[in-house]
Amino acid sequence: MNYLGYGLGLRSQHYQEILSQQPALDWFEVITENYLIPGGRPLHNLEKIRENYPIVMHGVSLSIGSTDSLNFEYLAQVKKLAERINPAWISDHLCWTGVEGINLHDLLPLPYTEEALVHVSERIKQVQDYLNRQILIENVSSYISYKDSHMAEWEFLAEIAKRADCKLLLDINNIYVSAFNHQFDPQSYLKAIPIDRVQQFHIAGHTDCGTHIIDTHDQPVVMAVWELYADAVRRFGKISTMIERDDNIPPFAELMRELEQAKAIAEPILLEQTV
């Protein structure tokens, strides 16, 4: 397994600080779609940062669960970017984002059915064949469920990984959010995911609306998510971990403090596992 350590999502607000100070962290994750246009300042900055840090690519447009045909024009751009910056890996989400060419600009959950399993698994295989690499698939947070679903989300995700022979990006905050919204035990989720399939963790903040939680990525990580992260480290061991913040972007130092908290939680657990 390609273990990177502890990283952050690369955001444009922090380009200059990163380039000038070269802060002490292990790696960055980039939103793939922000760098698909050849040339320009964003790609220039990314290439400069890439000189000093490993990079992983994280997409939001694969729409692997859609009934539309795979968008090979988009995949060609992804492949070209990957050839240019040589990411440690590429990831996207277990969701659909639109149908009949209409982009709904949201990561929508799937029905957990055998038909969906076959459909998504085959599409992931096609993507991996085209990119000539394994990809990581991330669990999304959800606010609705389908009457046709006949298995739990974690069973569906585990089976997808097996059938498609892909890796998983386990978003700890998304597990917590969905567990609250759908009233399931997040521990059941962790226990059902195959240890050898997980390659990355996301940790993020959310907005608690009382009756439901929205995965906004615009707040600090809450204690309950840190506790679930500790449980995930106990189960899965040494997994590359990053803090994800997409809105209400704080100063870089604040994100570094959260990253240090992740490290402070994980490292004692990992040390115990090696004794």
User: Considering only 34-43, 116-125, 158-167, 238-247, which range has the smallest mean pLDDT?
Assistant: 34-43
Is 103's pLDDT higher than 80? no
- What architecture is domain 6-274? Alpha-Beta Barrel (3.20)
Of the chain, the percentage scoring pLDDT greater than 90 comes to 88
Q: Which residue has the tokens 């009756």?
A: 211
Cα 64 to the center of its chain, rounded Å: 14
Name the residue among 75, 72, 66 with its Cα closest to residue 94: 66
- According to the model, what pLDDT value does residue 1 have? 57
Q: Where are the alpha helices (DSSP H) in 132-203?
A: 153-164, 172-182, 186-192
Detail the DSSP E strand segments found in the chain. 6-9, 27-31, 55-58, 90-93, 96-99, 102-108, 136-138, 167-171, 198-204, 207-208, 213-214, 240-244
DSSP state at residue 141: P
More confident residue, 155 or 37: 155
pLDDT confidence band for 253 (50 / 70 / 90):
very high
The pLDDT assigned to 71 comes to: 96
Q: Which pLDDT score is estimated for 108?
A: 87
Would you list the domain boundaries of the chain?
6-274
Tens of pLDDT, residue by residue over 178-225, are: 999 999 999 999 999 999 999 999 999 999 999 999 989 889 999 999
Confidence at residue 206, expressed as pLDDT on a 0 to 100 scale: 93
| pLDDT value, residue 104 | 66
Segment 173-189, tens digit of pLDDT: 999 999 999 999 999 99
